[in-house]
Structure 1
Amino acid sequence: MKSLSLFICSWLLFAACKKNSIETERVQTFTISSSINNGTYEIKVVLPKNYSSQKKYATLYVLDPEWDLDFVASECDKQAVVQQKEGVLLIGIGWGHDRVHDYAPVPLRGGKGGADAFARFIEEELVSKIEKDYPVAVDRAHRGIIGHSAGGLFAAHCFVNHNELFGHYMALSPSLWVGDQVVLINEKEQRSENTAGSGSFFLAVGELEQEVMQPPIALFQKTLGDYYPHYKHQFYIARGLDHMGSKNSTIPKALTFYFQQL
């Protein structure tokens, strides 16, 4: 009964992330088919409040938008007001394949490990369309990504293997255990190329997450501090919360930190 109660509480907290709604006039939707990985993706672009085509906006790419886009948009609106900054243009990348296939860098649970191809789709096809169709800054320093769980794994993978794509990373409860911690292995191999870069990295985990989650996240945080002096980074532990329940806490914390870097 105790485990069932914990599951119900976690689900209620998770579902609360979906309650926020975005004004329909701020949302633009299109579909894009990739010639790189053969996926077809529904893209939701959320315009910032007081949107003007005469401005150049930072862009934030949101993974798992089916679950998190409304909540992320609401928190971005709040941070723009609190920190007295321009809003950002959000790009929610819907599921073109099974999410594990696109987010994992190695085969996992029936997925084929399509993270590299998915990153190429974002860089070569999606980003170019967004930067052509919307008034956004086109440099890496104004481009960010946020993801949770497998989405957090993909964000960390991009930091390591596709560092030229984003300047700001928010990896919430990333599944860094995947592939015998392959992201950490790749980080060592790519370190000499990546340490000269700059940007920001927000890393978070729930205090009550499964034991397999904790050690690689802690090691990744130590790696950021030891080897990436040009990155501003923050590590946050959501006290008393588990993997799913922590999102209500970690998403606002991540976006507070992100807006401080803009």
Structure 2
Amino acid sequence: MNKNNRITISFIASVFIMLISLTACREDTFDKDLVREFTITSSINGSTYPVKVALPKNYSSSTKYKTVYVLDSKWDFDDVAREVQTQSENFHRSDVLVVGIGWGNDRLDDYLPVPYKSGSGRADLFVRFINEELVPKIEQDFHASGIREDRAILGHSAGGLFGAYCFTNYPDVFGNYLALSPALWIGDQVVLKEEKKNRAGNQSRTGRFFLATGEIEEEGMRPTVEALRQILNQHYNGFSKSYHLAKGLDHMGSKKPNIRKAVTFYFQQF
């Protein structure tokens, strides 16, 4: 190989490495200058919640915005906000806010409708906080749309269970559900029991439901997720639905890939 060929190959390799680095950087960051933060103390359950709001580019007070509410904000807000920013660019949209709800209580206390481990089962109060206090603030301060169809909730594990509980027991709050590896086995499958109890009043509703899990989830997780999948397919014809099984991934390993799948599904429905 002559000297000129070696130089050409070396240059191409350098450009390739640079492009990979730039892509990786783009995947790992989003415009944090567009994030607003505040705290809100609930008069319903007495807890104080840190909240983050990721604004879209070209944010304007003259627009009414769709909202994606993200549970476990400390863990998952950045990933969801990054993916929403990416998909907003891909789909040429600029009308979606990401609202990250931090922990005011132990997460199991807020997310579960029944006592379990450190949680006392106060999900009903947490739903009320979201619906009666947080949602109105987001609508007033950030010009979010006031209709159910424009609100989504995204949660993983206990957060996914909470989203499913909103679907079964509080269907007026959200019209879009992005439930990742929901821990539906908790409380002797209480959420599945609530779904059956409330089915007659709920199944005429419309909306979107993305359900996902990992192929090698811990024992007991996948059967209940599969049960919900079958229920959605059989009884909720008014919902656009999608299911994703993350091949070769466990409970935690499947979370980020399933966030990407969930947000992509959400944008595809517009």
Structure 1 residues not aligned, in runs of 5+: 1-15
Residue-by-residue CA offset, 1:192-237 (whole Å, 9 max, x unaligned) = 1111111000000000101210111000000001000100011110
Picking from 88, 92, 100, the partner of 1:80 is 88
Instruction: Report the alpha carbon displacement of residue 133 of structure 1 after superposing the two structures with TM.
Output: 1.0
Distance 1:177 1:119 in 2: 20
Contact kept, 8 Å, 1:145 with 1:166, in 2: the verdict is yes
Aligned to 2:52: 44
For the aligned residue pairs, the C-alpha RMSD in angstroms reads: 1.3
1:138 aligned onto 2:146: yes
Contact kept, 8 Å, 2:106 with 2:118, in 1: the verdict is no
Picking from 45, 57, 62, the partner of 2:65 is 57
Picking from 102, 114, 130, the partner of 2:110 is 102
1:221 aligned onto 2:229: yes
Structure 2 residues not aligned, in runs of 5+: 1-23
* Local SS of the residue matching 2:138: helix
Instruction: Report the alpha carbon displacement of residue 110 of structure 1 after superposing the two structures with TM.
Output: 2.0
TM score, norm. by length of structure 1:
0.91
Instruction: Report the alpha carbon displacement of residue 77 of structure 1 after superposing the two structures with TM.
Output: 1.1
Picking from 219, 231, 239, the partner of 1:231 is 239
Distance 2:51 2:136 in 1: 14
Picking from 133, 136, 160, the partner of 2:168 is 160
Contact kept, 8 Å, 2:64 with 2:95, in 1: the verdict is no
Letter in 2 for 1:250: N
Instruction: Report the alpha carbon displacement of residue 78 of structure 1 after superposing the two structures with TM.
Output: 1.2
Distance 1:139 1:62 in 2: 18
Picking from 241, 253, 258, the partner of 2:261 is 253
Q: Higher relative contact order at CA 8 Å, sep ≥6: structure 1 or structure 2?
A: 1
Instruction: Report the alpha carbon displacement of residue 246 of structure 1 after superposing the two structures with TM.
Output: 0.3
Distance 1:137 1:34 in 2: 22
Aligned to 2:214: 206
Instruction: Report the alpha carbon displacement of residue 83 of structure 1 after superposing the two structures with TM.
Output: 1.9
Letter in 1 for 2:169: N
Aligned to 1:178: 186
Residue-by-residue CA offset, 1:55-98 (whole Å, 9 max, x unaligned) = 11101100011011111111111111222223411110000000
Distance 1:248 1:133 in 2: 30
Corresponding pairs, count: 245
Letter in 2 for 1:59: T
Contact kept, 8 Å, 2:63 with 2:95, in 1: the verdict is no
Task: Percent identity, please.
Answer: 53
* Local SS of the residue matching 1:80: helix
Letter in 1 for 2:81: A
Mean CA deviation greater in 176-185 or 76-85: 76-85
* Local SS of the residue matching 1:45: strand
TM score, norm. by length of structure 2:
0.88
Letter in 1 for 2:267: F
Contact kept, 8 Å, 1:202 with 1:254, in 2: the verdict is yes
Instruction: Report the alpha carbon displacement of residue 44 of structure 1 after superposing the two structures with TM.
Output: 0.6
Distance 1:30 1:82 in 2: 29
1:20 aligned onto 2:28: yes
Contact kept, 8 Å, 1:77 with 1:87, in 2: the verdict is no
* Local SS of the residue matching 1:96: coil
Letter in 2 for 1:206: G
Instruction: Report the alpha carbon displacement of residue 52 of structure 1 after superposing the two structures with TM.
Output: 1.6
Aligned to 1:241: 249
